[in-house]
Structure 1
Amino acid sequence: MILLTFNIVNIEAEAKNSLQISDEERLKVTEGNTKAILRILDIHDIKASFFVEISIAEKLQNLIKAISSKGHEIAFYNLNSDLQTIEEVKKNIQDILEKQVRGIRQKDFKLAQENLKLLEFNYVSNIDHADILFPFKRLKRDTEINEQDGLSIVPESISPYFQLPYNDFMFQILPMKYYKNMVFETLKNDDFVLIYLNSWQFTDFKKYPFDVPYYRSLFSGKKMEDKLEALLSWINENDMATSRMKDYIF
């Protein structure tokens, strides 16, 4: 099973040459990138899970409703919000969607699992910090979903043969032929492959003057769209199963 997920987050990088990019402009970039992702998913009729960052979720109500109306899952991505904020945003978004938000994803700032359970989340999908040296830091990890504190804990996937993680950076820099081989070989060994990408990776950095490292701007924007198109075409051509996170877990 392929679990395709997207983190909907504003790009945090500063602007080049002392320029200023407002929060509103950053939000518009995020909306545009997410709509590009939705268009590609629609073309290939594949459903995914969208982890919307807590601090911008209520500012993206129309986008969130559009994502949900197309059959995709809405979950949360917590960068640094406290429990009270998460509880309030969760209630508001659930009221808007008339659906329960089951999943949450964390990276550097992680809240206690028992507290997340009290907020009525059902699963946690934590991710590690990904940079150019990341593949050499951790080459082994548990790849099975397990239960802790009443929550399903979904680990990041790692290729058992290539020994590379399925994080956003690997998708961006690896040739698609190599990436497809990773997915194919991993599914021979594991029950699922969890893939995650960030909305900001679809930014056209020639159009928007964000100061990002060269290796992070490489193959971004339209090239990311093309790579996602290629992956989804390959998935459909080979009749490979995909699922939203909540459906697979429950």
Structure 2
Amino acid sequence: MILLSFDIEEFDMPLEYDGQISLEQQLQISRTGTIAILDVLKKYNAKATFFSTVIFAESNQDIIHRLLEEGHELASHTWFHSDFKNEHLKSSRERLSELFDTEVIGLRMPRMSPVDETEVKTAGYVYNSSINPIFLPGRYNNLGVSKSYFKLKEVIQIPASVSPIFRIPLFWLSFHNFPTFLYRYLAKRSWKDNGYLNIYFHPWEFADIKNSEFKLPNFTTKNTGQDMIARFDTFLEWLVKNKQKFCTIKEFVDIIN
């Protein structure tokens, strides 16, 4: 079973590298990428989960309506991508639900940041997919966390997938930089080990972000834009040939809960 998810947000990563980008550019790049993602998913009838910030959703309501109409799940990525307060947990969930008349039960914190699970439960979430169970220097050390789903404070935790041995991450950065054959091998090992694969991407990966003003390092821009669209398309084709089924995280939670 394949759990595809996308963090649709303000593309503020250039600011982490002292680059220059306006909020308008951030939103436009993410909009362009989200449309490309939806087109590929539709081609393979693959359902996915979209974790959206309120800022992106309010500015791109037509996109959110489209993804819901095509059978995808809308979940919360809090209110802003670079400014978080605990009250944003509840307010973002309620705002997204109100705007699009849909049940929002899932959370992913921006940049997979840690969060108080008591606050997550109080805010009304059923699941949280904010854990990358690896050691990433300068970001997090989750080597002691389960690779498979588990419950914490009554909230179902669904970590991002890693390889069974050595916990090699299978998130977006690996998808860009690993040789295709290696990524597919590790992905197959992971879904056989856990019974599912949970991997996530961002819309800006599917857009043109090779702008000198952004000052992004090569490992973030490699295989982005049209290269990423083609790479992702062939990956989904490969999954289909391997008889893998796609489902939203909400559907997966219904199965395991």
Please classify the TM superposition score into its range, dividing by the shorter chain length: 0.7 to 0.9
Call closer, same or farther: CA 1:148–1:62 in 2, change over 3 Å. Answer: same
Deviation at 1:123, TM superposition (A): 0.2
Residue number in structure 1 paired with 2:25: 25
SS of the equivalent of 1:159 reads: coil
Deviations 1:54-86 (A, max 9, x none): 443322222211111111011112444223334
Deviates more, 1:90-99 or 1:42-51: 90-99
Residue number in structure 2 paired with 1:117: 121
In structure 2, distance between residues paired with 1:23 and 1:139 = 35
Residue number in structure 2 paired with 1:76: 76
**Contact 2:52 2:77 (C-alpha < 8 Å) held by counterparts:** yes
1:200 paired to 2:213: no
- In structure 2, list runs of 5 or more residues that go unmatched: none
Deviates more, 1:162-171 or 1:121-130: 121-130
Deviations 1:1-31 (A, max 9, x none): 111111112222448xx99532112211110
Residue number in structure 1 paired with 2:48: 48
TM-score by structure 1 length? 0.87
In structure 1, distance between residues paired with 2:134 and 2:53 = 17
Residue number in structure 1 paired with 2:90: 87
In structure 2, distance between residues paired with 1:8 and 1:242 = 19
In structure 1, distance between residues paired with 2:178 and 2:3 = 19
> What RMSD over aligned residues (CA atoms) do the two structures have, in Å?
2.8
Residue identity matched to 1:8: I
What is the percentage of aligned positions where both structures have the same residue?
Answer: 24
In structure 2, distance between residues paired with 1:111 and 1:23 = 26
Residue number in structure 1 paired with 2:58: 58
In structure 1, distance between residues paired with 2:13 and 2:190 = 33
SS of the equivalent of 1:194 reads: strand
Deviation at 1:138, TM superposition (A): 6.5
Residue identity matched to 1:9: E
Call closer, same or farther: CA 1:122–1:215 in 2, change over 3 Å. Answer: same
SS of the equivalent of 2:60 reads: helix
Residue identity matched to 1:144: S
SS of the equivalent of 1:147 reads: strand
Call closer, same or farther: CA 1:148–1:166 in 2, change over 3 Å. Answer: same
In structure 2, distance between residues paired with 1:127 and 1:85 = 19
**Contact 2:53 2:92 (C-alpha < 8 Å) held by counterparts:** no
Residue identity matched to 1:52: S
TM-score by structure 2 length? 0.85
Residue number in structure 2 paired with 1:105: 108
Deviates more, 1:73-82 or 1:165-174: 73-82
Deviation at 1:133, TM superposition (A): 6.3
Call closer, same or farther: CA 1:174–1:162 in 2, change over 3 Å. Answer: farther
State how 1:7-22 maps to structure 2 within 5 Å: 7-14=7-14, 21-22=21-22
**Contact 2:108 2:128 (C-alpha < 8 Å) held by counterparts:** yes
Deviation at 1:205, TM superposition (A): 2.7
In structure 2, distance between residues paired with 1:217 and 1:81 = 26
